[in-house]
Amino acid sequence: MNDFLTLSTGQRMPVVGLGTWKSAPGQVKQAVLAALDCGVGSGKALRREDVFVTSKLWNTKHDPEDVEEACRTSLAHLGLSYLDLYLIHWPMAFQRGKELMPRRDDGSICYSDTHYRDTWAAMESLVDKGLVKAIGLSNFNARQMDDIISRARHAPVVNQVECHPYLSQADLLSYCRSVAVCVTAYSPLGSGDRPWAAPDDRILLTDPRLAAIAQRYQKTPAQVVLRWHVQRGVVCIPKSVTPSRIQQNLQVLDFSLSEDDMKLLESFNCNQRLIVPAVERDGKRVWRDAEHPHFPFNDPY
């Protein structure tokens, strides 16, 4: 099993990367340094082309006039001249401006009617200008992907979505394969440390069925789950700030799960989305953005 996938652009993307969401301020730098050490070996000179860097366009920057500036801001923060991959974070646009989460007085989000198709056209010009090597999507459903692919000059190479054994995304994965789009799994280990987890929510990494599989292979539960992703052809970006865990997460290419164990992990699926922003309305937890015309999860996949 290779430690990279080849994207439709010909770029080689590592099958296991480092996710940084939820890392506390000051921790990301050390986590990235630890990951680079694991990837290239301590003390070796690192070339820009040895690192695959992905960033995302946020919802308040969907207006075509804002896209290039947002990308250049990310590049300046990272100290880079180009990104390997730049994704539209969500298909839903929020009101333009400086606020990341523009809200009304009642706390609800101020949306914008900018269409993701128009945003995509501006993303394509980033490729033309050499600011990014490739562009992609995040949290898009198959219908929305189709909408973009049918008009694209530069096709999306990736759709980055929540994916783990409780949300196996089999239908979306099958669709993405059919259109040569790579699936990247965020929260690939089920994000047990998500701040809004309810006390009775199941935690994937403590699932006894997973523990039994891990024991058979003499691997950690996390390594088994990451191996499951890799064998399905899914790139995964587990978040960690602990050097020993970062190293463990990268050690998933030296064993294979049997077909039976792959199926067993697949059977954990209960279509449980853990990462969709939710709010209390009339005493019920509901998806915060479900009313947005481009909210992706009203479709089955």
Which residues define the annotated binding site for substrate? 89
Please report the beta strands in 74-128, taking only residues with DSSP state E, as ranges in sequence order.
Answer: 85-88
Under 8 Å CB-to-CB from 173, ≥6 apart: which residues?
163, 183, 232, 233, 234
Alpha-carbon distances, residue 235 vs 36, 263, 293, 295 (angstroms)? 17, 19, 29, 24
Binding site, by residue number, is 89
Beta bridge partner(s), residue 135: 86
* Token pair for 104: 């009304």
Q: How far apart are CA 44 and CA 248, in angstroms?
A: 20
Secondary structure element (H or E) that encloses residue 13, with its range = strand 12-14
Contact between 68 and 134 (Cβ < 8 Å)? no
Alpha-carbon distances, residue 180 vs 9, 59, 136, 192, 299 (angstroms)? 10, 25, 12, 31, 21
Q: How far apart are CA 202 and CA 251, in angstroms?
A: 26
Please report the beta strands in 150-281, taking only residues with DSSP state E, as ranges in sequence order.
Answer: 158-162, 182-186, 235-236, 278-281
Q: How far apart are CA 237 and CA 185, in angstroms?
A: 6
Beta bridge partner(s), residue 160: 138, 184
Burial of 214 (0-12, 13-18, 19+ CB in 10 A): middle
What's the residue count for the chain? 301
